[in-house]
């Protein structure tokens, strides 16, 4: 009898449900867009009820599309946009405010104040993160400070907090389970990743009562069971939970220390498994918990590039020099090189390892011979150069050489980009058959949690590789091109 695992992938722009069989084949996908709410410049919110409802609709959607009966679904995995913050009434289930999305900048000034205080180095040291509005802590504080009676209710035990995994699990279990996993907890800026507990010093400093926090559980294992109303009296265990980037790391079977994945979406998210070693970055990366399984916590180094696939959207939507993202591959492959052009897509500043929020994008090296194809090629190359910057930082921090880069995300479909990535890094670039690594990772964690797969080795042997790109570029050429990129970045930053 066929058995299935349902993966819920609650992302920033949409909620998705993907049904996998136990050979990790995709059986059906359903997706619902999510309304983006921008109450003010730089503020981003979601409606938590819409998050829940769209997620429930996609569950219905995959069941209808696949024709699979609910009884055959053995486990549910949850993966989610990280850091996004919800506070709700424990009795009524009604959120006291919209979900404040990770991208929201409303607490930037609060973070600047923290940075000036002694709390800054404490937070870096104990959470592995840099103080930033990106993470949940200051978003919680904002709600408690600004919503009438919220802090009082929180102190009285009436309000509870969750990231999106917690919000979904609490609702799917009909208020029974208030929990998160280690990977999500490590993105709140309230979790002590050394001592593996909520950090009292930070909680006190931000006046956040600890009773609003969820229980932190292992990423694989039963969190709870769906309420009988969710699936017409069939009860399914929720047995795998991880934040989206960590889930992708797991879905790529990056189980060994030193293995790395890069997700090429709007931006790039690059994570390196560092095993049981908590490595404090000397090169502006963040340290995070990858997952906890079988009572062992594993760590990762993480670096994010703000603009990756988005530079291709820009070519399409703003410059209008391509009509579809895939066309970029044909343009770039039609010329021998970028003819000396470098694009530094610092549209919103530069992320890791520069962390320069103030610089803006630039194009270097234009001549009368520069044409459309050169510009498209330079845009794709910029994605690969930015990835190299982050990987160089990771190699320095981890004191090891990366041998293979495992890739996923929309722009990983671009063969030119993948070949150039391999050439400029001089490492193998491995593209799996299933590019849905995030959803797959949650399914693997859920399957592992109820024994569908016995261990990580079994999962590894289940994974299928579609293509390996190998470097063919001469070292001189590589060095010359990368030196040109570094020079372009220096000019962009204004050094």
Interacting residue ranges for ligand ADP, rule: CB under 6 A: 13, 265-266, 309-310, 312-313, 325-326, 328-329, 409-411, 413-414
Q: Which is nearer to ligand ADP, 328 or 419 (CB)?
A: 328
Q: Which is nearer to ligand ADP, 29 or 208 (CB)?
A: 29
Q: Which is nearer to ligand ADP, 211 or 415 (CB)?
A: 415
| Listed residue (347, 353, 362, 355) closest to 311, CA to CA | 347
Q: How far is the CB of 12 from ligand ADP (least distance, A)?
A: 8
Q: How far is the CB of 58 from ligand ADP (least distance, A)?
A: 15
Q: How far is the CB of 123 from ligand ADP (least distance, A)?
A: 27
Q: Name the β-bridge partners of 198.
A: 191
315/295 Cα distance (integer angstroms): 47
175 backbone dihedrals φ, ψ, rounded to 5°: 70, 5
Residue number, nearest CB to ligand ADP: 410
Q: How far is the CB of 187 from ligand ADP (least distance, A)?
A: 17
Q: How far is the CB of 316 from ligand ADP (least distance, A)?
A: 7
Q: Which is nearer to ligand ADP, 173 or 328 (CB)?
A: 328
Q: Which is nearer to ligand ADP, 93 or 410 (CB)?
A: 410
Distances, alpha carbon 160 to alpha carbons 80, 95, 154, 286, in Å: 18, 9, 7, 27
Q: How far is the CB of 244 from ligand ADP (least distance, A)?
A: 9
Q: Are 302 and 245 in contact (CB under 8 A)?
A: yes
Q: How far is the CB of 383 from ligand ADP (least distance, A)?
A: 8
- The dihedral over CA atoms of 48, 49, 52, 56, expressed in degrees to the nearest 10, equals -160
Q: Name the β-bridge partners of 181.
A: 217
224/313 Cα distance (integer angstroms): 41
Q: Which is nearer to ligand ADP, 183 or 266 (CB)?
A: 266
347/250 Cα distance (integer angstroms): 30
348/8 Cα distance (integer angstroms): 30
Distances, alpha carbon 124 to alpha carbons 127, 141, 182, 200, 394, in Å: 6, 18, 17, 15, 17
Q: How far is the CB of 329 from ligand ADP (least distance, A)?
A: 6
Q: Which is nearer to ligand ADP, 59 or 312 (CB)?
A: 312
Q: Which is nearer to ligand ADP, 160 or 310 (CB)?
A: 310
Q: How many CB atoms lie within 10 A of CB 425?
A: 21
- What DSSP string runs through 462-495? H--EEEEE-----HHHHHHHHHHHHHHHHHHHT-
| Listed residue (460, 457, 464, 462) closest to 435, CA to CA | 464
């Amino acid at each position: 009898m066929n058995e299935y695992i349902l993966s819920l992938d609650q992302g920033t722009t949409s909620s998705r449900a993907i049904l996998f069989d136990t050979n990790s084949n995709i059986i059906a996908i359903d997706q619902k867009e999510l309304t983006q709410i921008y109450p003010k410049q730089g503020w981003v919110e979601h409606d938590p009820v819409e998050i829940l409802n769209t997620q429930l609709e996609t569950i219905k959607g995959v069941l209808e599309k696949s024709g699979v009966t609910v009884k055959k679904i053995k486990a549910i995995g949850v993966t989610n946009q990280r850091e996004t913050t919800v506070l709700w009434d424990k009795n009524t289930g009604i959120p006291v405010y919209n979900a404040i999305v990770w991208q929201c900048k409303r607490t930037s000034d609060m973070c600047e104040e923290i940075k000036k205080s002694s709390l800054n180095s404490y937070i870096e040291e104990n959470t592995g993160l840099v103080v930033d509005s990106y993470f949940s802590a200051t978003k919680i504080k904002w709600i408690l400070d600004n919503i009438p009676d919220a802090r009082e209710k929180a102190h009285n035990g009436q309000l509870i907090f969750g990231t999106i995994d917690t919000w979904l699990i609490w609702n799917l279990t009909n208020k029974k389970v208030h929990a998160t996993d280690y990977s999500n907890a490590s993105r709140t800026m309230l979790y002590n990743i050394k001592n593996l507990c909520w950090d009292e010093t930070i909680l006190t400093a931000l006046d956040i009562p600890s009773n609003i926090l969820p229980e932190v559980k292992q990423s694989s294992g039963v969190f709870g069971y769906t309420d009988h109303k969710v699936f017409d009296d069939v009860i399914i265990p929720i047995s795998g939970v991880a934040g989206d980037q960590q889930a992708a790391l797991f879905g790529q079977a990056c189980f060994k220390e030193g293995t790395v994945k890069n997700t090429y979406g709007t931006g790039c998210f690059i994570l390196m498994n560092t095993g049981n070693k908590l490595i404090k970055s000397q090169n502006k990366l963040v340290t995070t918990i990858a997952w906890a399984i079988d009572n062992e916590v594993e760590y990762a180094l993480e670096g994010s590039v703000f603009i990756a696939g988005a530079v291709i959207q820009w070519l399409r939507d703003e410059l209008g020099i391509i009509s579809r993202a895939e066309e970029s591959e044909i343009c770039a492959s039609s010329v021998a090189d970028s003819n000396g052009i470098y694009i530094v897509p610092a549209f919103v500043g530069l992320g890791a390892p520069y962390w320069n929020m103030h610089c803006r994008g630039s194009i270097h090296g234009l001549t009368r011979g520069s044409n459309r194809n050169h510009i498209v090629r330079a845009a794709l190359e910029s994605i690969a150069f930015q990835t190299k910057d982050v990987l160089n930082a990771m190699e320095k921090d981890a004191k090891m050489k990366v041998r293979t880069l495992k890739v996923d995300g929309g722009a990983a479909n671009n063969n030119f980009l993948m070949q150039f990535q391999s050439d400029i890094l001089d490492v193998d670039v491995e593209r799996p058959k299933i590019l849905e690594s995030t959803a797959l990772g949650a399914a693997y964690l859920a399957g592992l949690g109820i024994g569908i797969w016995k261990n990580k080795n079994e999962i590894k042997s289940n994974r299928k590789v579609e293509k390996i790109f190998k470097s063919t570029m001469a070292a001189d050429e590589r060095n010359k091109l990368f030196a040109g990129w570094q020079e372009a970045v220096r000019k962009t930053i204004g050094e």
